[in-house]
Structure 1
Amino acid sequence: MTLRIGNASGFYGDRFDAMREMLTDGELDVLTGDYLAEFTMLILGRDRLKDPAAGYARTFLRQLEECLGLAHARGVRIVTNAGGLNPAGLADAVRKLADRLGIPVRVAHVEGDDLTAAHPGSLAAHAYLGGFGIAACLREGADVVVTGRVTDAALVTGPAVAHFGWGPGEYDRLAGAVVAGHVLECGTQATGGNYAFFNERAGDLRSPGFPLAELHDDGSCIITKHPGTGGFVDVGTVTAQLLYETGGARYAGPDVTARLDTVRLTQDGPDRVRIEGVRGEAPPPTLKVGLNRLGGFRNEVVFVLTGLDIEAKAALVQKQLTEALGKVAEARWELVRTDRPDADTEETASALLRLVVRDPRQEAVGRVLSGTAIELALASYPGFHVLAPPGKGSPYGVFEASFVPRGEVEHTAVLHDGRRIPVASAADTLVLDAVPEAPLPEPLPPGAVRRAPLGLVAGARSGDKGGDANVGVWVRTDEAWRWLAHTLTIDRFRELLPETRDLTVTRHVLPNLRALNFVVDGILGEGVAAQHRFDPQAKALGEWLRSRHLDIPEVLL
């Protein structure tokens, strides 16, 4: 029997109307919503500092006010991690909402992930739980299940476990559900959003429909969307999302380690992609813990440099601020050459010089930029002005990943009637080891080449994991794979992306997907909340790679 699971949110701030659209545009059994990310946990932590009753995604509650009656009438169960740092608080709020609307629903929640008390100095410390707590809630009749920090894929594995009756040792089935959950978790990224080859498709991308999975008892599934909705689903969009924010062939989670090198994708009709063959292994003996803390204060100002002598102008203002910048903990300069020679508009004749300062003291970062930098307005380079006046400085966060033994986490399902069901930890575990690199295909025979952008042949999708970034690169034909696998080495990757030259880069080979996945250690500093670089979540790192030129065989072009 097929289980139809849809998703209506890929992040805190996603399309508000998506919940209603998913409930009205087609059939569903379960509707999920993913509201949490590393950065979101910091935001919710700061909310909780101001109000101990806060700490959950309030958007979800407003969406539910419009849609709870619809879900109840259609028999659709709702599973969400919108509980954030306060799943019990959100569950109570949903109950009050249901009572006010006169809708008889049973609300349960999952807890045990909050380890903040055990990590002094952290604003929020939360273990990533699996799907068996969600499954316990659903088996006991919950209509709405609220969680805190579970893995994104757990929103799918939990309903699948409850529906099909899988046990904790059925690793292949669980791994199939994890892969389905990973495809759904970022919403419209599976239906044409943020897709490398978007300009090759005629589909309406103004408002892509959200994805759903038709799950089967053997762990296989079909990824699709509701009929008539925007966007498109094909092997490429699913491949891109499979590579997003992953690493090697082993994709570890609290319930199972899914082997991404076993995933097989086939087009099963218009807007339908079949995922099958996924193998699973026992999960690791530890659980990941996300630690968020306040790192200090940051401030920034962007100087506009126009016309001639751009580098000399930049050097002058840097010299003028040298003494003042010695009084802050960290200062970073970045000159962005957006200027063009003989430009016909002032904006295109201008370059941008960005200065970011960080310090434990707010007054220090405020004084340097609001004071010293702006005092140069009449005493520096010709044409001096800034994009916007700097403020007093704002707090920034730091994300770190840690690991704890499974036995230290009390995973608990709290039912609608108050009963508490302990969720057993995995009986069998397996320490993660690197998978031996898969054999490469035969290289293409020598032939004529042309200098051209990599993106004419390859797609890419990149993202962040703490301070690291990954760039997944894939091609759509076997012939192109024979070229890519041998050409895009770690050395070539570093050559094409010079910002990675001094960093550790690891390459993972995924032949079934015709893909390479590169993990770049430390390129994002202390994580997205620290705003370490221009693109703090590495969202466009893959597109930068695709824009780089190299010699490509003409047979592929």
Structure 2
Amino acid sequence: MTSAVRIGNCSGFYGDRLSAMREMLEGGELDYLTGDYLAELTMLILGRDRMKNPGGGYAKTFLRQLEDCLGLAQDKGVRIVSNAGGLNPAGLADAVRALAGELGLDVRVAHVEGDDLLSRAPELGFGDVLTANAYLGAWGIVDCLNSGADVVVTGRVTDASVIVGPAAAHFGWQRTDYDKLAGAVIAGHVIECGIQASGGNYAFFTEVDDLTHPSFPLAELHDDGSAVITKHPGTGGEVSVGTVTSQLLYEITDGRYANPDVTARMDSVTLTQQGPDRVAITGARGEPPPPTLKVSLNSIGGFRNTVTFVLTGLDIEAKAQLVRRQLEAAVTVRPAEMQWTLARTDHPDADTQEAASALLHCTVRDPDPAKVGRRFTSAGVELALASYPGFHVTAPPGDGQVYGVFRPGYVDAVAVPHVAVHADGTRTDIAAAEDTLALAPVDEPSLPAPLPGGPTRRLPLGTIAGARSGDKGGNANVGVWVRTEEQWRWLAHTLTVDAFRELLPETAQLNVTRHQLPRLYALNFVIEGILGAGVAYAARFDPQAKGLGEWLRARHVDIPERLLP
């Protein structure tokens, strides 16, 4: 087949809009509909679900969507591919078959398995963990689709793989068609997070006409690996070079984006606005994949609790020092970790009490729930009449909660089974890639010519720059982009690592690396360790670093007047 294949998305995370599957099926023509339900935190959630119910471990909302839409998808000839199987793709496949039977539908359901390495975690050197799942690629999905499956559910495949699989099956791509596969990976990376490609969480959101109910995106993929990102006509949101750039920068490192089937060169692509809500992605180049697969490892780290003190008015620092001394003296059995954070949310001469108040958080962690339980929070509340003036806390005494720890692992791809299980129960082993290339840093391109001098104005960086930030384990990335060649020349010379650290003081003592993506007029910064042991560890009040880019945009810099809109 040579005509474009239309692949839509109806989920960017476990908990996304429930009506999206029906909206995408009814909104226009599609060949495939995909959904991404898994994230590092989701695997922990599903792991705890499996502890309570060995038959669980998959995204239940996917079944609710199918109950409403499976017949509609079949009527329209749309095939569904999703990683909603989580830790139990076989269980989800059985549940989909049972649902189809209840609905009186003849649906061929296949699944992909082999990613779950929990039983082998000790021998692979991963230790005692709750979940251990390798990121598989797209070829198991391809095999299921080529064997006639209407619905394919997987466990932990890479987010882009649910898009790469349908494209490779549609066009009959081979495993060494690296440029084509890279184009599909990049298009998949754009749409797998759902509405983030069509105006959601967009830095310049005030420029989008209608974000009341934005649409999910779709990709029109061509046999050469090029793609057009768009959305159904007449729907809310916007697909622009800006929204696509923003999503391309999400949760990446440098110009190489490794997947199990291909390493896509993010620094190779060109974006072109073809028309309203149509952005072409061309020029993608691919390289052989690395010989190892990343493994998502989650474990129970212990128990966590927090007391938040409200400090109002004058002498905020002194009040914080007093209550800290008092609480540390009162907690005679010390937990393993005791972390204090003072958020100076107060304003001088404030016109409301809330605006006059700062928040002092004390977070404790320990393997023993007794050390961080009600005894700890009660010790904070007992200071109510004996501490700083205006003392109050944000919550009554409470018990500690379990927290998780994420870390990545790596394993030789040949050591991981990858199995396509067809609707009739037959099984196909999917071989690991034979042609591999160890991942290496990209050579940084030369800096563009500096901008000539001239008058400047001190304004927020976000006056001309967009940003998108997110989490990868304990690290975070902040992608920053501008919209013209002149703005790029200024940004590349101005926003150095030192300048980044100065603008975001919380990163000053951390390892920060900068990567240029000139074709996108973008820089990507990776901050190591800012999120501690991952999202569930909650090292920061923004544990997924979602607002880190917006903080950067709000910081003031000297911007040449010639660059201002």
TM > 0.5 = yes
* Structure 1 residue aligned with 2:181: 174
Q: 2:333·2:371 contact (CA, 8 Å) conserved in 1?
A: no
* Structure 2 residue aligned with 1:510: 517
**Once the 2 structures are TM-superposed, how far is the Cα of residue 368 of structure 1 from its aligned partner?**
4.5
* Structure 2 residue aligned with 1:468: 475
Distance 1:496 1:195 in 2: 21
CA deviation vs aligned residue, 1:490-514 (integer Å, no higher than 9, x gap): 1111111111111111110001000
* Structure 2 residue aligned with 1:33: 35
Q: Secondary structure at the match of 1:298?
A: strand
After TM superposition, the structure 1 = structure 2 runs for residues 139-288 of structure 1, keeping only pairs within 5 Å, are: 139-201=146-208, 203-288=209-294
Q: Percent identity?
A: 69
Which one is further off, 319-328 or 485-494?
Answer: 319-328
* Structure 1 residue aligned with 2:398: 391
CA deviation vs aligned residue, 1:425-476 (integer Å, no higher than 9, x gap): 1010001111111112111011111111100011000000000000000000
What residue identity is the alignment partner of 2:108? Answer: R
* Structure 2 residue aligned with 1:52: 54
* Structure 2 residue aligned with 1:330: 337
Q: 1:365·1:393 contact (CA, 8 Å) conserved in 2?
A: yes
Q: Secondary structure at the match of 1:376?
A: coil
Which one is further off, 412-421 or 333-342?
Answer: 333-342
What residue identity is the alignment partner of 1:516? Answer: L
* Structure 2 residue aligned with 1:549: 556
Q: Secondary structure at the match of 2:382?
A: helix
**Once the 2 structures are TM-superposed, how far is the Cα of residue 375 of structure 1 from its aligned partner?**
1.2
Distance 1:229 1:200 in 2: 16
Distance 1:446 1:382 in 2: 53
Q: 1:299·1:390 contact (CA, 8 Å) conserved in 2?
A: no
CA deviation vs aligned residue, 1:314-352 (integer Å, no higher than 9, x gap): 111100012317611001111111122222222112111
Q: Does 2:319 correspond to 1:313?
A: yes
What residue identity is the alignment partner of 2:549? Answer: G
- When residues 372 and 56 of structure 1 are mapped into structure 2, their CA distance, relative to the original with a 3 A threshold, is same
Distance 1:335 1:442 in 2: 42
Find the partner of 1:380 among 379, 387, 394: 387
* Structure 2 residue aligned with 1:304: 310
Q: 1:301·1:354 contact (CA, 8 Å) conserved in 2?
A: yes
Q: 2:246·2:468 contact (CA, 8 Å) conserved in 1?
A: yes
Q: Does 2:20 correspond to 1:18?
A: yes
Distance 2:239 2:346 in 1: 39
Give the gaps of 5 or more residues in structure 1.
Answer: none
- When residues 109 and 325 of structure 1 are mapped into structure 2, their CA distance, relative to the original with a 3 A threshold, is farther
Q: Secondary structure at the match of 2:409?
A: strand
Which one is further off, 301-310 or 121-130?
Answer: 301-310
Q: 1:128·1:288 contact (CA, 8 Å) conserved in 2?
A: yes
CA deviation vs aligned residue, 1:239-287 (integer Å, no higher than 9, x gap): 0000000000010010000000101100010000000100000000000
After TM superposition, the structure 1 = structure 2 runs for residues 342-491 of structure 1, keeping only pairs within 5 Å, are: 342-491=349-498
Distance 1:95 1:218 in 2: 35
**Once the 2 structures are TM-superposed, how far is the Cα of residue 121 of structure 1 from its aligned partner?**
1.3
**Once the 2 structures are TM-superposed, how far is the Cα of residue 378 of structure 1 from its aligned partner?**
1.6
* Structure 1 residue aligned with 2:136: 129
Distance 2:485 2:268 in 1: 17
* Structure 2 residue aligned with 1:73: 75
After TM superposition, the structure 1 = structure 2 runs for residues 77-92 of structure 1, keeping only pairs within 5 Å, are: 77-92=79-94
CA deviation vs aligned residue, 1:139-171 (integer Å, no higher than 9, x gap): 000000000000000001111111100010000
RMSD value, Cα: 0.9
Distance 1:36 1:413 in 2: 19
* Structure 1 residue aligned with 2:101: 99
What residue identity is the alignment partner of 2:219? Answer: A
Q: 1:263·1:278 contact (CA, 8 Å) conserved in 2?
A: yes
Give the gaps of 5 or more residues in structure 2.
Answer: 122-126
Q: 1:284·1:431 contact (CA, 8 Å) conserved in 2?
A: yes
**Once the 2 structures are TM-superposed, how far is the Cα of residue 127 of structure 1 from its aligned partner?**
0.1
Q: Which runs of 4+ in 1 moved over 6 A?
A: none
Q: 2:9·2:191 contact (CA, 8 Å) conserved in 1?
A: yes
What residue identity is the alignment partner of 1:346? Answer: Q
Distance 1:259 1:304 in 2: 49
* Structure 1 residue aligned with 2:124: none
Q: 1:325·1:368 contact (CA, 8 Å) conserved in 2?
A: no
Distance 2:327 2:168 in 1: 60
What residue identity is the alignment partner of 1:83? Answer: G
Q: Secondary structure at the match of 1:321?
A: helix
Distance 2:256 2:332 in 1: 45
Distance 1:325 1:215 in 2: 63
Q: 1:300·1:390 contact (CA, 8 Å) conserved in 2?
A: no
**Once the 2 structures are TM-superposed, how far is the Cα of residue 406 of structure 1 from its aligned partner?**
0.8
CA deviation vs aligned residue, 1:207-254 (integer Å, no higher than 9, x gap): 110000000000001000000110000000000000000000010010
Q: 2:194·2:217 contact (CA, 8 Å) conserved in 1?
A: yes
**What's the TM-score, normalizing by structure 2?**
0.97
Q: Secondary structure at the match of 1:9?
A: coil
**Once the 2 structures are TM-superposed, how far is the Cα of residue 376 of structure 1 from its aligned partner?**
1.1
**What's the TM-score, normalizing by structure 1?**
0.99
Q: 1:48·1:54 contact (CA, 8 Å) conserved in 2?
A: yes
- When residues 440 and 523 of structure 1 are mapped into structure 2, their CA distance, relative to the original with a 3 A threshold, is same
Distance 1:443 1:48 in 2: 56
